[in-house]
Amino acid sequence: MAPALLRSRLVIGALLCILLSSDVGVLRRAAALGINYGQVANNLPSPPQVVSLLSSLCIGKVRIYDVNPQVLSSFAGTGIELIVTVPDDLVPPMAASQAQALQWITASVRPYFPATRVTGIAVGNEVFTGDDEQLKASLVPAMRNLHAALAQLGMDGYVHVSTANSLAVLATSYPPSQGTFTQEAASYMAQLLRFLAETNAPFWINAYPYFAYKDDPTRVSLDYALSNKSHVGAVDPNTRLQYTSMLYAQVDAVTFAAARLGYGNVPVHVSETGWPSKGDANEVGATVENARAYNRNLLVRQVSGEGTPLRPKLRLEVYLFALFNENMKPGPSSERNYGLYQPDGTMVYNVGLVQQRSTTSAASLSLAISPANKRDVRKDFAGICLFTSSAILLITQAFLL
């Protein structure tokens, strides 16, 4: 080995040892990763305790499924981005009346903004794959009325409006270049994508490779479903793009489907993805080991700023499901076992996240976000949180060359 190369590796090795001997870990800072904070449980910690946990992990983006006042108040001054949700039953009234949309925002969001950094409103959840035709027809009109109400309040430059879709809106997802919306969803999708393009909002997709593996474990590669980078992956025969992650292939399939309707430039974000750590006897693959591998692989990709093969320079924005195991969720056992944490605050498994022992108050990062000041605090928060993990990843990669 050349002396110069040996010296450089020794220096890198020494730096790596110093970093790893401190109280920071490779994946300690997770500001790049969003997380879903569900509350379908009767044993969860209080919202202030949850916010304290999130802040200690330096998680910078959170999605909730309501507009709980205690939760919204607890996020004030943290700098954490928050997506809130309009429940399905309020969608038709908001579609019928802009006044209803304005009243909801005025009562449920405006009192907490900008101290609580609400950056998105999810309208309904997986509406286009449900059975309620009135709800489907009402969704985009309600979104338009909500956006108009935000504009009236001067908030439209800070809060975008979208809706989370099930991957079942796709009739074809493989290969990604053949991604196509179902015939039933296509007419609604054209309206939705037009609105998203006009308002610079993302298309949100709930995507779970776990389901593909569970349904056909003999034909679906576990490594591919888990996004293991060591896996050769799959090559799209039309684009020749190589996919080592099923999730990233699913996202690109949505992008291709949107392009077929003329909206290929609308960004696709993952509003939910995860892997259960426990399931019923017929739920193949629902294990702690697989859940740890899936979420850790995803976190590594997020910290490294990785994009999909179709959009490699644009880091894929992902919200992991979920923060806690939720004991009151209906359905099979897996539904109650997607959490990184137990309700008592102990980890179900460790993906590499480490709580900070001491940190500068997150409130000092949020400062004042007012309509008169469009400074993006997210950049400050994420930059500080990602510095250590990104540096360690780069040093690790250089050391292994």
Q: Quick one: average pLDDT of 109-122?
A: 97
Q: Is 272 a catalytic residue?
A: yes
Confidence of residue 303 (pLDDT cuts 50, 70, 90): confident
d(CA 88, CA 125): 7
| Residue 175: cis peptide before it, omega within 30 degrees of 0 | yes
Q: Tokens representing 128?
A: 């286009």
Q: Quick one: average pLDDT of 365-394?
A: 39
d(CA 390, CA 300): 10
Report pLDDT digits (tens) over 227-279. 998 888 889 999 999 999 999 999 999 999 999 999 999 999 999 999 999 99
From the candidates 126, 306, 317, 326, give the one annotated as an active-site residue: 126
Query: Cα dihedral sign for 302, 47, 67, 324?
Result: positive
State the DSSP H helix or E strand holding residue 25, giving kind and residue range, or none if neither.
none
Q: Quick one: average pLDDT of 159-166?
A: 98
pLDDT of residue 357: 55
Phi, psi dihedral angles at 363 (to 5 degrees): -65, -30
114-142 burial, b at 16+ Cβ within 10 Å, e below that, comes to: bbbbbebbbbbbbbbeeeeeebbbbbbbb
Q: Tokens representing 392?
A: 């360690």
Q: Tokens representing 397?
A: 């990669």
Query: Cα dihedral sign for 16, 20, 25, 31?
Result: negative
Whole-Å CA distances, 187 to 206, 261, 274: 20, 10, 29
Task: Return the beta strands (E) in 146-202 as ranges.
Answer: 160-166, 170-172, 180-181
State the DSSP H helix or E strand holding residue 370, giving kind and residue range, or none if neither.
none
DSSP letter at 125 equals E
DSSP letter at 172 equals E
Q: Quick one: average pLDDT of 366-384?
A: 38
Global pTM value: 0.84
- Least confident range of 108-117, 168-177, 189-198, 386-395: 386-395
Q: Tokens representing 40?
A: 């379908």
Query: Cα dihedral sign for 240, 245, 250, 256?
Result: negative
- In this predicted structure, the answer to whether residue 72 has a pLDDT above a threshold of 90 is yes
- Report strand pairing: 242-243 vs 61-63: unpaired
Which residue bears the tokens 């304005």? 102
Query: For residues 350 and 291, is the Cβ–Cβ distance under 8 A?
Result: no
Coil/strand/helix, residue 238: coil
In terms of phi and psi (left: phi > 0; alpha: psi -120 to 50; beta: otherwise), the region of 391 is alpha
From the candidates 81, 272, 306, 326, give the one annotated as an active-site residue: 272
Give the domains, in start order, of the chain with CATH numbers.
25-400 (3.20.20.80)
State the DSSP H helix or E strand holding residue 63, giving kind and residue range, or none if neither.
strand 61-63
- In this predicted structure, the answer to whether residue 30 has a pLDDT above a threshold of 70 is no
Report pLDDT digits (tens) over 215-230. 999 999 999 999 998 8
- In this predicted structure, the answer to whether residue 318 has a pLDDT above a threshold of 90 is yes
pLDDT of residue 380: 42
DSSP letter at 188 equals H
